[in-house]
A and B are shown apart, each in its own frame.
Chain A
Amino acid sequence: MWPGEPGHTPNPTFDLFRTDCHTQHETSKGNCVVEPILEVKQITKQFPGVLALDHVDLELIPGEVHALVGENGAGKSTLIKIIAGQYQATSGTLVMNGKTVQFDNPLQSQSAGISVINQEFNLIPQLSIAENIFLGREPRLKTGLVDWKKMNARSAELLAELGLSLSPRLRVEYLSVGDLQLVEVAKALSRDFRVMIMDEPTAALNSAEVERLFSIIDSLRQRGVVVLYVSHRLSEIFRIADRVTVLRDGRRVDTRAVQGLTENDIITMMLGRELADYVVEKGADPEGRPALSVRDLTVPPTLRGASLDLHYGEVLGIAGLIGSGRSELMRALFGIQSPSGGEIAIDGKPTVIRNAMQALREGIFMLPEDRKLEGIFPDLDVIDNLVIKRPRYDESALARFFLALSAERSKYQEIRDKLSIKAHSRTQLVSTLSGGNQQKVLLGRALVSQARILLLNEPSRGVDVGTKVEIHELIRQMAQEHRAVIVSSSDVPELVKVSDRCIVMSAGHVAAVLEGSQITEDNILACAVAHKKLEG
C-alpha cells in the first residue's frame, strides 16, 4: 500500500525526517509561525541584457507544498536553478535554517538538503537504474569499489516505494517516459533532504502515475518537508498546493494561501490584468468528401489501428494521454514514422506518405511537438526559418536551385504582419526571439507551405497566455480559410476552445469522437481515462 491512499496508516519506513512542527496541516494553510526552512531574500539575477529576477523573496515553511507559477520567462526556472546551485545570484541571499548559505554548484545545494527534480531528465541512458539513483553517491566497499549489493538493494526498496516493478539493474535506456520520471523521483528521494523542488513533474506522467506522485507529495508534506512545486497546470496546484507564489517579469507578484483563490485570480496575477473573454466562431459542418481519411493506421507498438475523417473548414482536436498513440498518429500522417498497416487517402485518393518532403508536396504540413528540438533552426535568421521550405513545385529544377530573395522578403513581410511576429529585423537570429514568437514563425511556415491539411502538435505549448489566445484565433481563421486542421494537444482546455470535433485517443485506438456541446474537459478526460481502464 502506498502512503496517502485511503485508510493509510503512517508508514514507519518513510519516517526519515525529523518534524519540527507537528501541526503541519494548519501551518501549511499559512497561519503558523514556524521558522521557514529556506528563505530567498531579495534575489536578483542579471543576465547580459536581461534582468531575469528582480529582488524576489520566497519563504518555504516546513510541511507545505508551495506552488510557483508564472508565464514563460517570468523567472521560475532561474529561481529554481539558483536554489539548486546551478546558477549564482547576482545579489541577494539564501537563508537555510536561519543561516546564510551560498551554493556555488549543485553539490553544495544537495548537501545542504535541497533535492531537485528537473524538467529535463538528468539520467544516463547507458547506466542502470540503481547507478542512476546513486550517481555521485555510490555506496562503497572498504576497498573503495562500488558496493553493488547495497546499491541495488536500496534502489529496489525505493522503486517498490514508488510502486515501480522494475529491476534496479535494468538499463535506463529501456524505460518509458513515465518510468523515467519516476526514477527521477526515486533519485531525489534517495537523498537526505528538507526541500524538494519539482519542476513540471507531471508533464510526462499518465493519470495513474500523477495520482501516485501526488500521494508521494502528500506523505512528504506530512513528514515536514517542503515541496516547491512548479507547474503550468493550475488544476494541479489547486489539488495539492497549500500556498502559491506568482512571478511576473522577474518580480514576485504575491504569495497567497491557495484556499479561497480561484483560477481566475491566479491568471490575473500572472498576467497583471483581467483575462479578456474572447469568442471564437466555430466552423462549418463537416460535409462532402473528406480532405483526409485514415483507416486502421497502425504504428507499433503504441498506435494500434486508428481511423478518422478530416474535412476542409474544420478543426479536429485530438486528445489523449502520453502513450495513447496520439503523436505517432500525427507523425505517421506526415510520413516521418512508418506505419505497419492501414490506409491514408487524401481527397479520396489512396496515398502512401514516405517522408516529410512528400507530405509537403501532397499539401500536408506538420507543426512539430518539440519546438526547440524539431522546429527552429537556431543558427538561421528569422526569414530563413520562415521560408526554408517555400513550395516552388511549378518552377524548373534550375530555378529552384537558386533562392528567390525578393519573393521571400515579401512573403516574410506578409506573414510577419499577419501573425504580428515581433522581430526587429528579418536577419535577427530566430533563437533570440521569445518562445511565443518562435512558435509564430513555425505557424507561419504552415501558411508559407500553402498546405491544405495542417497537423498542429501542441500549438501553444510554452507560450504565454496572450500569444496563446492569438494562436487559437489563428487556428480558427486557418480553418475558415477552408483548410483542414488537426490540433493534437495535451492541453484539454485548448482543445475545448478550438475544436469543431474532438477525437479522444486511448491505448492506440480512437476511444471517442465528440461533437459540438459534447466537447467538454470532463468528457475528454473521462474518455481518455475510462477506455484505458477497460483496456487494462
Chain B
Amino acid sequence: METQIASPAAPPRDKPLPFILRFFQVFESLGVLVMLLVLFGVMAAIKPVYLNVNNLNNIVITGSIIAVTGLGMTIAVAMGDLDLSVGSNQALTACIAADLLTRTSMPLTIGATLLIGLMIGVVNGMIISRLKVPAFVATLGMMSVLRGAALLYTDGQSILIMGYDDFAALNTSKVLGLPMPFIIALVTLLVFYVLLRHTPFGRHVCAIGGNENAARATGLRIGLTRVIVFGLVGMAAALSGIMLSAQLLFVDGTLGKGLELQAIAVTVLGGTSLAGGGGNLPGTLLGALLIAAINSALNILKVPPFYQYLALGLLLILALTLDTARRAVIKRVVSGGVR
C-alpha cells in the first residue's frame, strides 16, 4: 500500500540541467560515433576498397559478435561488476554448439547452448553473491575453469562445421538488407535497453552499481539481482559463441582469448563508466563496430595482426582517459555552476 499524497500542492518547478551537462550527456554516446566517422573518412581517402560492401559487411558482422558480449558486459558494469570469464565462456559454448549441431536439431542446439551460457553465468553470480568473492577475481577463476573445460570438451582438437547451411545462414543471411548478426545484435540491444532503462529490475541493477550499501538498506534483493545479471552476461556470451561458430564454421577450445578485454573496451568506449550506476547500451554497439572497423583497417593496411593488440590496448587506455577527463569537467561544472 502506498501513501497517497494527491495534493493540490504547487506544481514542480522544473530546473533543467545546464547546457554543458546536457552536451556531455550527448557526447557520451556521440564521441565514439565521431571516432567511427573519422576512421571511415581517413580510410576512404587512403584505401577506397575499405568502403566496399563486402568489407563493410565483414565489419558489421565482426562488430555485432563483439557487441553481443559487450551488451551483456555493459549490464554487469552498470551493476559495478565485471565478468572476465566471457572469453572462455564463448569458447566453451561455441564448441558445445558445434558439437551439438551434429547430434541434434538446430533450434535445440541454440536453445541448449544459450541455457548452458545462462547456467555458467548463474554459477558466476552464485559464487559472487553466496560465497562473497569479489566479482573480478571470481570470474578470473572461472575464466581459467571454463578454458580448461573448453579444452577438455574438445580434447584440444578442432571441430569443423560442415553441411549445416541453415546454421551458417545465421551468419550469411540478410534481413532488410542487413546482415543477420547485426539484426541479432540490434534485437539484443533493444531487449537489454528496455530491461535496463524501463523495468524496475534494470533500475535496481543501476542502484546496486551506484551505491550497494544504500541498495541493501532499501531492501533490494541484491543477491538475486546479481545472479540474474551474471546469467544474462553468460547468456549473451553464449549467443556470441553461437554467432562466432556460425561465422568461423571451425571452432576449438582456444577461441575468445582477450574477448573480456574487448567487451570491457567497447563498454567503456560507448560511454559507460566503470564506476557503475548506469549503462550506455547503444554506445556499446557503436564501440564494438569501432573496434571491428579498426581491426579491419589494420588488416587492409597489411599491418601485422599483433598490432591489433596494441591498438586495442591503447584504445582502451584512451577511452578511459577521456572518461576521466569528462568526469573531471562535469565535476567542475557542477561544483562551480549548478549549486
Contact = CB atoms under 8 A, between A and B. Distances in A.
Contact of B339 (A125, A126, A174, A193): A174
A161 interface: yes
B338 A174 contact: yes
A428 interface: no
Interface string A436-447: 000000000000
Given A13-B7, A136-B219, A161-B9, A300 B207 contact: no
Given A161-B5, A192-B1, A127 B339 contact: no
B218 A122 contact: yes
Contacts of A138: 200, 203
Contacts of A192: 1-3
Contacts of A168: 12
A86 B2 contact: no
A110 to B, nearest CB: 6
A260 B157 CA distance: 88
Nearest to A156: B12
Nearest to B334: A174
B271 interface: no
A444 B206 CA distance: 42
Contacts of B338: 174
B226 interface: no
Interface in B3-17: 3-17
Interface stretch (B162-170, B208-216, B283-291): B208-216
Given A125-B277, A145-B199, A167 B12 contact: yes
A301 B335 contact: yes
B12 A159 contact: yes
A192 B2 CA distance: 6
A105 B220 CA distance: 10
A38 to B, nearest CB: 18
Contact of B206 (A86, A124, A137): A124
A127 B203 contact: yes
B15 A124 contact: no
Interface string B311-339: 00000000000000000000000111011
A160 interface: yes
B103 interface: no
Q: Considering residues B3, B6, B336, which has the most beta carbons from chain A within 10 angstroms of its beta carbon?
A: B3
B220 A135 contact: yes
Given A161-B9, A300-B336, A124 B217 contact: no
A122 B199 contact: no
B221 to A, nearest CB: 9
B45 to A, nearest CB: 40
Q: Considering residues A145, A159, A190, which has the most beta carbons from chain B within 10 angstroms of its beta carbon?
A: A145
B278 A123 contact: no
Interface in A247-276: none
Given A135-B203, A145-B198, A160-B9, A301 B213 contact: no
A156 B5 CA distance: 11
Contacts of B147: none
B199 A144 contact: yes
A126 B25 CA distance: 13
B217 A86 contact: yes
A377 to B, nearest CB: 21
A136 B220 CA distance: 6
A118 interface: yes
Contact of A157 (B7, B199, B200, B216): B7
B204 A126 contact: no
B176 interface: no
B207 A156 contact: no
Interface string A118-133: 1011111111000100
Q: Considering residues A11, A135, A140, A176, which has the most beta carbons from chain B within 10 angstroms of its beta carbon?
A: A135
B217 A127 contact: no
B336 A190 contact: no
B329 to A, nearest CB: 14
B194 interface: yes
A296 B15 CA distance: 33
A192 B16 CA distance: 30
Given A140-B200, A190-B3, A135 B207 contact: yes
B63 to A, nearest CB: 28
Contacts of A140: 200
Contact of A13 (B8, B15, B219, B220): B8
Contact of B4 (A16, A110, A118, A145): A16
B215 A13 contact: no
A117 to B, nearest CB: 11
Nearest to B214: A122
B25 to A, nearest CB: 10
Interface string B7-36: 111111111110000000000000000000
A474 interface: no
Interface in A165-182: 165-168, 170, 173-176
Given A13-B7, A160-B10, A127 B210 contact: yes
A156 B217 contact: no
A189 interface: yes
A378 interface: no
Interface string A281-310: 000000000000000000011000000000
A154 B2 CA distance: 11
A175 B7 contact: no
Q: Considering residues B9, B209, B220, B335, which has the most beta carbons from chain A within 10 angstroms of its beta carbon?
A: B9
Contacts of A154: 5
A135 B218 contact: yes
A517 B228 CA distance: 66
Contacts of A16: 3-5
Q: Considering residues B8, B213, B217, which has the most beta carbons from chain A within 10 angstroms of its beta carbon?
A: B217
Nearest to A108: B219
Contacts of A124: 206-207, 210-211, 214-215, 277
Contacts of B213: 120, 122
Given A13-B8, A13-B9, A167-B15, A118 B217 contact: yes
A110 B2 CA distance: 11
Interface in A133-151: 135-140, 144-146
A170 B206 CA distance: 16
A158 interface: yes
B9 A106 contact: no
A53 B150 CA distance: 54
A137 B2 CA distance: 9
Contacts of B10: 160
4 closest A-B pairs by beta carbon, nearest first, are A126-B277, A13-B7, A156-B12, A107-B219
Interface of A: 11, 13-14, 16, 86, 105-107, 110, 118, 120-127, 131, 135-140, 144-146, 154, 156-161, 165-168, 170, 173-176, 189-193, 300-301
Given A146-B203, A301-B336, 7 more contacts: A124-B210, A125-B277, A144-B200, A146-B200, A159-B12, A173-B334, A174-B17
24 contacts: A14-B5, A16-B5, A106-B216, A106-B217, A106-B219, A107-B219, A110-B219, A118-B217, A121-B214, A122-B213, A122-B218, A124-B206, A124-B210, A124-B215, A127-B203, A127-B277, A138-B200, A160-B12, A165-B15, A167-B13, A176-B339, A192-B3, A193-B3, A300-B336
